[in-house]
Chain A
Amino acid sequence: MPTDIDQTTRLALYRRQVEIRVLEKRAYDLFLQNLVKGTSHLSLGQEAVAAGFAVAMRADDYTFCTYRGHAHTLARGAPMLGVLGELMGRSAGLMGGKGGSMHLTSVEHGAMGSYAIVGAHLPVAAGAAWSAQYRGTGQVAVCFFGDGTTNIGAFHEALNLAAVWKLPVVFVCENNQYMEYTPIQSVTAVEHPAADRARAYGLDPVLIDGNDADVVYRAAREAIARARGGGGPSLVEAETYRYSGHSRADPGAYRPPGELEAWTKKDPLALYRRRLLDLGFAESALADVERAVERAVDEATEGARASPPSPLDVIEKDVWADGGSAWRN
């Protein structure tokens, strides 16, 4: 076994994945209880990508993600209470219920927002990277998006600008095989929607197993180091699979029989747990992590349920920097 990843890091990678798994399942349970309204897009099955990158990032690096963003926001250390509270529209939510599931943001944790219009955040991440480059802070922006995003214009505009300006940004395509309900291969001119486009922007194609947290972590470490060192942007395609449908409303019935089962055999958590045991981690240490996470998610759930709905006076707050919404004198 390679020893380039130390034990603390491995435990952190495992813990992050467990946190995402348990919290996403909880979010789903709360839909069923009608405590989470609206739409929600879960990352069940895709935990390794969020965990692998987040653990490789510096505390002041920037994360930009999509409406499937609970995992990435949580992985940067945003509090579970804030995440669940936001899903439930409570005042304890990260944004007091004003953003909702698709817009989780926690600037103090470097989670610079979840963007719900496909492709919009790639140029924004490039801009944050430009700012870091300009200010000379060594910060890196990491921008996660789905396979469907590779076919929208903003993807190409952002890749080109980032390459031309040599921006410290890592673009990460989570290829979960479906744009929404449609298989990505049936609507894309190349086999690997992101990796096969890298050459067009003078970048090396990087195609990785997105279900193996160690693989993701190594790819992240390398791309982030290049960005921080002035080597410009990277485009990483991580192959993975989402267990649930596109959103809350989607049972995923369009998937061919056996596909989900085949992917669950490559489940990122099961794989990583096995590896840690093989590496000599004690079963009890892993069970401790799992129990601690369960407890933390339970507490966050209780906290969110106890939190009152946001007061109505937030409706007219925070349109402007002065805290208000006045458009006239």
Chain B
Amino acid sequence: MDVVMPQLGETVKQGTVAVWRKKVGDRVEKDEPLFEVSTDKVETDIPAPAAGVLSAILVPEGETVPVGTRLAVIEVAGEVRSAPSAAAPATPVATGAAPPPAPAARPAPPFRREEGGPRLSPVVRRLLDEHHLDPAAVTGTGADGRITRDDVLAHVARTQREATPAAGDATVVPMNRIRRLTAERTARSVAVSPHVLQAVEVDFSAVDAARRASADAWKSSEGFSLTYLPFVARAVCEAIGEFPHVNASVRGESLLVHPHVNLGVAVDLGFEGLVVPVVKHAQRRTLGELARELRALAEKARRRALSPDDLAGGTYTLSNSGPFGTLLTAPIIQQPQVAILSTDGVRKRPVVVEGPDGDAVVVHPVGVLAQCFDHRAFDGAYSAAFLKRVREILERRDWSAELT
């Protein structure tokens, strides 16, 4: 015989077990006081529903549970023994001519507590975790007192208002899915990988010369302008050929060096998030192919049309803040990769060049390339040598030959 939380009033939905009057194993008589319940309206003794032995107490003193929750089991002489588990109530299912499909046919199970805590939905767990809240602190307004997402958000908004009266007019902006993923991944990456930043200054005159020379032809045949990014991508792919550990993942105590360069490129979605589509087998692509592919992926990203495949499998990443004219960015590594390169703003600067007649100051387009690498994978000398090679390729290559 189950003992359940009684409904002590029309509007009462839950009650707290204040005191158990019997211990497990005690003999109880029918109508003998068994436990005391307190609600926000009353405190009252509840009599035993049957005579027998109190074989289990399922809800300890002090706990608040919804009406109908099993609280204890009385073993009645002659009754078939049932395990005192927290099984669903054995309400018979009415079968009509056209029963709605399960689980619709069953009444919603009463809200139960497990291991002393309430049952929480995934979003509620996440929100409680993000705001470092104890579920007990949040008042549930859902069915049977369940804590809903709105309950947590309301609680957070209220406590923030109370905690920062001066900022009472602050707007609460819930993070979208991409924001949350980015938050989680960047935090994890920084925790996992010891990041080291190294930067080199690159003279983009050679790149710029080729870019200008073919600007009109390129624009008219391709329909978009050629940026610095594909040149950097091409140089990185080539340099990786000589410094393959840059294109790797840490697995346990080994470095997994990848045979292909799958080049991720971070794309901003109009300040609404960041995605990193991947150019597969980038090392096989010509400069022109890289330019087209990068352009296509960025377009696809902005149309929100990237497929999961487009985002998978990256082995090295470029982060391009250059268009905003940044001086230097320390990017965060995309796990499980071991390095990431930021291309920052290219600006005209006075540069000293050595000529046969001595040094001269000329104006050249110059920009910084900054790589963050995972110190577990290799050391600063390796990274620096890689960056040096990237710079050499960008500065010395006859790029015009690659665009014809």
- Whether, in the assembled complex, B115 has its beta carbon less than 8 Å from a beta carbon of chain A, the answer is no
Q: Does B131 contact A (CB under 8 A)?
A: no
A316 to B280: give the CA distance in the assembly, Å.
14
Q: Kindly report which residue of chain B lies nearest to residue A327, judged by CB atoms.
A: B307
B305 lies within 8 A of A329 (CB): yes
Q: Would you give the shortest CB distance from A323 to chain B, in whole angstroms?
A: 12
Whether, in the assembled complex, B177 has its beta carbon less than 8 Å from a beta carbon of chain A, the answer is no
Nearest B residue (CB) for A326: B307
A265 within 8 A of B: no
For chain B residues 270-323, which have a beta carbon within 8 Å of chain A?
Answer: 280, 304-305, 307, 309
CB closest residue in chain B, given A325: B309
Bound complex: CA A57 to CA B286 (Å): 45
CA–CA, A329 and B305, complex, Å: 6
Residues on A with C-beta less than 8 A from B307 are: 324, 326, 328-329
Q: Which residues of A have CB within 8 Å of B280?
A: 313
CA distance A316 to B307 in the complex (A): 13
Asked if A326 and B309 sit within 8 Å, CB to CB, the answer is: yes
A171 to B196, CA, bound (A): 73
In the complex, what residue of chain B is closest to A311 when comparing beta carbons? B281
**Which residues from chain A contact B309 at a C-beta distance below 8 Å?**
316, 326
Interface size class of B (residues with CB under 8 A): under 10
Residues B201-230 near A (CB distance < 8 A): none
B interface majority secondary structure: loop
Interface residues of A in 275-329 (CB under 8 A from B): 313, 316, 324, 326, 328-329
B307-342 interface (Cβ within 8 A of A): 307, 309
User: B304 is contacted by which of A316, A326, A328, A329 (Cβ under 8 Å)?
Assistant: A329
Q: Residue-by-residue, is A187-231 near B (CB-CB < 8 Å gives 1, otherwise 0)?
A: 000000000000000000000000000000000000000000000
Min distance, Cβ A319 to any Cβ of chain B, angstroms: 12
Complexed CA–CA distance, A293 and B309 (Å): 46
Number of interface residues of A (CB under 8 A): 6
With most chain B CB atoms within 10 A of its CB, the pick from A313, A316, A328, A329 is A329
Cβ-closest chain A residue relative to B305: A329
- For B303, give the chain A residue with the smallest CB separation: A329
Contacting residues, chain A, for B304 (C-beta < 8 A): 329
A324 to B307, CA, bound (A): 11
For the complex formed, measure the closest distance between the CB of B93 and the CB atoms of chain A, giving whole angstroms.
Answer: 37
A313 contact set on B, CB distance < 8 A: 280
Q: A6 CA to B26 CA in the complex, in Å?
A: 112
A201 to B: closest C-beta gap in Å = 48
Q: How far is the CA of A153 from the CA of B177 in the complex (A)?
A: 53
Q: Please give the distance in Å from A93's CB to the nearest CB on chain B.
A: 22
Provide the bound-state CA to CA distance between A326 and B311, in Å. Answer: 13
In the assembled complex, which residues on chain B have CB atoms less than 8 Å from the CB atom of A326? 307, 309
Q: How many Å lie between the Cα of A271 and that of B23 in the bound state?
A: 104
Interface residues as binary, B26-62 with A (CB distance below 8 Å gives 1, 0 otherwise): 0000000000000000000000000000000000000
Q: How far is the CB of A69 from chain B (nearest CB, A)?
A: 33
Closest residue on chain A to residue B281 by CB atoms:
A313
Interface residues in A250-282 (C-beta closer than 8 Å to B): none
Report the bound CA distance from A316 to B305 in whole Å: 18
Residues on B with beta carbons closer than 8 Å to the beta carbon of A328: 307
The distance in angstroms between the C-alpha atoms of A328 and B307, with both chains bound, is 7
In the complex, residue of chain B having the shortest beta-carbon distance to the beta carbon of A316: B309
* Cβ of B269 to closest chain A Cβ, rounded Å: 15
Min CB gap B399→A, angstroms: 29
C-alpha gap A326/B308 in the complex (Å)? 9
Among A126-167, those with CB < 8 Å from B are none
Complex formed: what's the CA distance from A326 to B310 in Å?
Answer: 10
Give the complex CA separation of A279 and B304 in angstroms: 72
A311 to chain B, nearest CB (A): 10
Name the residue of chain A whose CB is nearest to the CB of B280.
A313
A137 to chain B minimum Cβ distance, whole angstroms, is 36
Nearest-CB residue, chain B, relative to A313: B280
**Shortest Cβ gap from B281 to chain A (Å):** 9
Q: Given the complex of chains A and B, what is the CA–CA distance between A329 and B304 in angstroms?
A: 8
A328 to B304, CA, bound (A): 12
Distance of A316 Cα from B310 Cα, bound (Å): 12
CB distance from B262 to the nearest CB of A (A): 12
Among A169-201, those with CB < 8 Å from B are none
**How far apart are the CA atoms of A324 and B308 in the complex, in Å?**
13
A11-31: CB near B (< 8 Å → 1, else 0) gives 000000000000000000000
Residues of B close to A329: CB separation below 8 A? 304-305, 307
Bound CA–CA A326/B306 (angstroms):
10
Q: Which A residues are CB-close (under 8 A) to B305?
A: 329
Q: Mark out the residues of chain A between 53 and 108 whose CB falls within 8 Å of any chain B CB in the assembled complex.
A: none
Closest Cβ of chain A to B294, distance in Å, is 19
Complex CA distance for A89 and B280, rounded to whole angstroms: 24
Q: CA of A324 to CA of B305 in the docked complex: distance in angstroms? A: 14
* A56 CB, min distance to chain B CBs, angstroms: 46
In the docked arrangement, what's the CA distance between A329 and B311, Å?
12
Whole-angstrom distance from the CB of A312 to the nearest CB of chain B?
A: 12
* Docked complex Cα distance between A329 and B307 (Å): 6
B144, chain A: closest CB distance, angstroms: 36
CA distance A258 to B304 in the complex (A): 70
Bound Cα distance from A101 to B193, whole angstroms: 50
- B261 to A: closest C-beta gap in Å: 15
Return the chain A residue nearest B307 by Cβ.
A326
Q: What separation, in Å, do the CA atoms of A45 and B304 have in the docked complex?
A: 58
Question: What's the least CB distance linking B311 to chain A, in Å?
Answer: 12
- Closest Cβ of chain B to A148, distance in Å, is 42
Interface centre among B280, B304, B309 (most CB of A within 10 A): B309
CA of A328 to CA of B309 in the docked complex: distance in angstroms?
11
A181 CA to B398 CA in the complex, in Å? 68
Extra contacts besides A313-B280, A326-B307, A328-B307 (6): CB < 8 Å: A316-B309, A324-B307, A326-B309, A329-B304, A329-B305, A329-B307
Pull 9 A–B residue pairs with CB atoms less than 8 Å apart, ordered by A.
A313-B280, A316-B309, A324-B307, A326-B307, A326-B309, A328-B307, A329-B304, A329-B305, A329-B307
The residues of A with any CB-CB pair to B shorter than 8 Å are 313, 316, 324, 326, 328-329
The 9 closest A-B pairs by CB, nearest first: A326-B307, A329-B305, A328-B307, A316-B309, A329-B307, A326-B309, A329-B304, A313-B280, A324-B307
